[in-house]
């Protein structure tokens, strides 16, 4: 996958020794969305197959598929976070059968976990179960878990994402399936809240996260991603007692104090924040606040395809000298890698899981 933008510039500025240090550093990727991490080469292959064999499994036209892929290939122009969500309909049209979903999952797992220097030692992949004409939400999750099983629980876990736009019936169905899969011993380790940050009623969601927590699933929530997210909503979400938080960009003092007190790990996605323009510069990024407070964080990619990044690229953004990076020392970067391994939704030490 071609890396470009801030992560590529940071990587280019490192010495061979620094690159080697990042490649070998033990680290966990804890915030990667499946459909935002599919290599473009596979999407192109799937697009060719889709266009060549009507009738289609989705209502998305060939033109929308082609322009969506061109946009991803060129590097999408994202002026605000809302632009980012328009990238997904074309991808979803291509990932609407069990076989295309399995191929996509396999490609993402390969991307993160294979090769001489795998991007990470452990991947907690997340995805929103989607119902299509070809599969139920339960089939969706089983297909993804089936691919994860080839790598084993030592290397992978699945987080089921709930979308802020889901209605009560779908939420109930999804959480019920997740609890069932966990009870069957599948590697479904947690539940996430994601999607358009301006949508949804957060109070109505509480009961589903309570159920997930009671079943022993980890909880992570995309929170305070934009300035439009009111402090009241942030406090509501924090009252679900999440184990981890995605982004947490716009926390006020009260929310920050709660997060520090509870030692809630923050999943930090530097390129994502810069490219979605929710954070103007690395210099002003909230990662600095959490580093100063020695607070648990995990550095993650979010959506490697549109943000044209990789986990080593995100680590390079910590190690590179300003203005390309944060200028952290190797010891500081190593400590961040350790924190990411600590924050996995695993209740067993890695050696004891199969
Ligand atoms: P999926 O859940 O595997 O389909 O991954 C893509 C989906 O993840 C998108 O449609 C969004 O709902 C969600 N997503 C990806 N990145 C973000 C983010 O930064 N904020 C909120 N939701 C996101
Ligand atoms: Zn995300």
Residue of the CA atom closest to atom 4 of ligand 1: 35
Residue 46 lies in a domain: no
User: For the packed helices 311-319 and 330-342, what is the interaxial angle rounded to 10 degrees?
Assistant: 140
At 119, list the tokens: 């991007």
Residue 63 lies in a domain: no
Task: Pick the more confident residue, 120 or 72.
Answer: 120
Residue of the CA atom closest to atom 15 of ligand 1: 33
Residues catalogued as catalytic: 225
Q: What is the mean pLDDT of residues 3-28?
A: 97
Q: What is the pLDDT of residues 93-123, one digit of tens each?
A: 999 999 999 999 999 999 999 999 999 999 9
Residue of the CA atom closest to atom 22 of ligand 1: 195
Residue 260 lies in a domain: yes
How far, in Å, from the CA of 20 to the mean position of ligand 1? 31
Q: What is the mean pLDDT of residues 156-185?
A: 97
Q: What is the pLDDT of residues 216-266, one digit of tens each?
A: 999 999 999 999 999 999 999 999 999 999 999 999 999 999 999 999 999
Q: Number of structural domains, the chain?
A: 1
How far is Cα 212 from Cα 184, in angstroms, rounded to an integer? 15
How far, in Å, from the CA of 194 to the mean position of ligand 2? 7
Residue 47 lies in a domain: no
Buried b (16+ CB within 10 A) or exposed e, 315-329: bbbbbbeeebbbebe
Ligand 1 closest atom vs CA 303: 16
pLDDT of residue 75: 84
pTM: 0.96
How far, in Å, from the CA of 83 to the mean position of ligand 1? 13
Residue 75 lies in a domain: no
Ligand 1 neighbourhood includes 35 CB (under 6 angstroms): yes
The single residue listed with the structure tokens 């949804």 is 200
Residue 178 lies in a domain: yes
Residue 85 lies in a domain: no
Boundaries of domain holding 20 = 5-38+96-347
CATH number at residue 110: 3.20.20.140
Residue 54 lies in a domain: no
DSSP class per residue in 108-138: HHHHHH-SSS-S-SEEEEEE-----SS--HH
Ligand 1 closest atom vs CA 163: 12
For residue 158, the SS3 value is: strand
Ligand 1 closest atom vs CA 92: 4
């Amino acid at each position: 996958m071609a890396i470009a933008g801030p992560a590529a510039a940071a990587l280019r500025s490192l010495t061979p020794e620094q690159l080697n240090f990042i490649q070998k550093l033990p680290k966990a990727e804890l915030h990667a969305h499946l459909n935002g991490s599919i290599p473009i080469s596979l999407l192109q292959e799937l697009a060719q197959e889709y266009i060549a064999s009507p009738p289609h499994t989705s209502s998305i036209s060939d033109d929308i598929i082609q322009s969506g892929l061109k946009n991803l290939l060129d590097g999408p122009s994202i002026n605000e976070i809302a632009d980012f969500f328009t990238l997904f309909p074309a991808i979803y049209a291509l990932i609407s059968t069990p076989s295309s979903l399995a191929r996509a999952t396999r490609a993402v797992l390969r991307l993160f976990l294979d090769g001489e220097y795998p991007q990470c030692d452990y991947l907690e992949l997340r995805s929103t179960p989607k119902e299509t004409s070809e599969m139920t939400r339960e089939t969706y999750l089983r297909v993804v878990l089936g691919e994860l099983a080839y790598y084993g629980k030592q290397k992978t876990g699945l987080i089921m994402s709930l979308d802020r736009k889901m209605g009560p019936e779908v939420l109930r169905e999804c959480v019920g399936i997740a609890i069932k899969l966990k009870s069957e011993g599948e590697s479904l380790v947690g539940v996430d809240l994601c999607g358009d940050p301006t949508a949804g009623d957060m109070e109505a969601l509480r009961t589903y996260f309570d159920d997930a927590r009671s079943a022993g699933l980890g909880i992570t929530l995309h929170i305070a991603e934009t300035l439009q997210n009111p402090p009241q909503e942030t406090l509501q979400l924090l009252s679900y007692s999440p184990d981890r938080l995605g982004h947490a960009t716009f926390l006020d003092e009260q929310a920050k104090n709660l997060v520090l007190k509870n030692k809630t790990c923050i999943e930090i996605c530097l390129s994502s924040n810069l490219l979605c323009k929710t954070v103007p510069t690395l210099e002003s990024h909230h990662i600095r606040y959490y580093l100063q407070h020695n607070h648990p964080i995990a550095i993650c990619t979010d959506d490697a395809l549109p943000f044209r990044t990789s986990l080593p690229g995100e680590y390079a953004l910590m190690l590179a000298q300003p203005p390309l990076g944060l200028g952290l020392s190797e010891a500081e970067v190593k400590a961040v890698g350790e924190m990411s391994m600590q924050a996995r939704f695993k209740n067993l030490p890695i050696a004891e899981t199969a």
